Amino acid sequence: MIARGFKSVIWVATVGGAALCCYMVSLRVATERADLAKVEVQIVTAKRDIRSLQTELGTRGRLTQLEQWNSDVLALSAPTSAQFVNDRVTLARLERHDPSVEQQSANIRMASAEIPAPETTAAPAAPKADPAPKLLPAIAPAPATAPMVRRASYTPTPAPAPASTPAGSKAKPAAVASPAANPPVKAQAAASKKATPAASVVASAKPSTPLAASKPASGSKAAAVTAPAKTPAKPVAVAVKPAAKKTQTASAAPTPVKTAKPAGASSARASKPTGGEGHR
């Protein structure tokens, strides 16, 4: 009975609830709409700003102003008819052909003038000028020896001095043997030049760092240096002999120019085993 009595109440509550739900939905929709309107207002404001900024930009960059800047600062002028290209053929004609590296290097020639001995140059300088300049290819390997020669600056001062004199006779055979082993004659000039300063440096060399220098030095003088460096420390009779031979060649270098380098090269092979022996 109570249920029947409350039936209408329940109905009303249901309807009321439904209506409330509807209201909630519509409220939600209204909120969304309001947000949308807000965005639309923002869009309109942005558009209006864009318009006013465009106007300002257009006014500041008006053609008369640009013209004035151009006449005052830039000084640009209209392109002339020569600057227009009307067809492909004319355009193709504008292409500049830059020669490639190979083409450029093919044209490069190195000239070296062989200066004859002083007595010949004295009298007939003019007639001999013609045959003298020789054209040589650009493959001059001489510089390769340069670093080797330079590293030969380490030589202990006291050791070689006494050893050099007896070994002097042995240096010669080494020099004779070497030209056969080293055919490139062009290297000689470079070697001879560097040999002279190297010999002078020998005097001021420090014996403190012999190991570091000896390792990379596959060349002549470095090897020559290592051996004497150890000689003062351990004066072994076997080691001293070849070592003395080398140092002697280095110091003797200034006078026999041609022998300097090959001698070093041949002695380098000899020096390493001696150095090793010295340690053992």
Q: Contact positions toward other proteins, by CB under 8 A?
A: 5, 8-9, 12, 15-16, 19-20, 22-23, 26, 37, 40-41, 44, 47-48, 51-52, 54-55, 58-59, 62-64, 67, 78-82, 84, 86
**Cβ 97 to other proteins, closest distance in Å?**
25
Q: How far is the CB of 96 from other proteins (least distance, A)?
A: 22
Cβ pair 240, 231 in contact under 8 A: yes
Give min distance, CB of 85 to other proteins, in A: 9
Q: Which residue has the tokens 């006291």?
A: 158
Residue 245, token pair as written in the block: 């031979």
User: How many Å apart are CA 121 and CA 110, to the nearest integer?
Assistant: 22
Instruction: List CB contacts of 188: < 8 A, sequence separation 6 or more.
Output: 257, 258, 261
d(CA 12, CA 119): 138
Environment class of residue 280 by beta-carbon count within 10 Å: exposed (0-12), middle (13-18) or buried (19+)?
A: exposed
> Shortest gap between Cβ of 65 and other proteins (angstroms)?
8
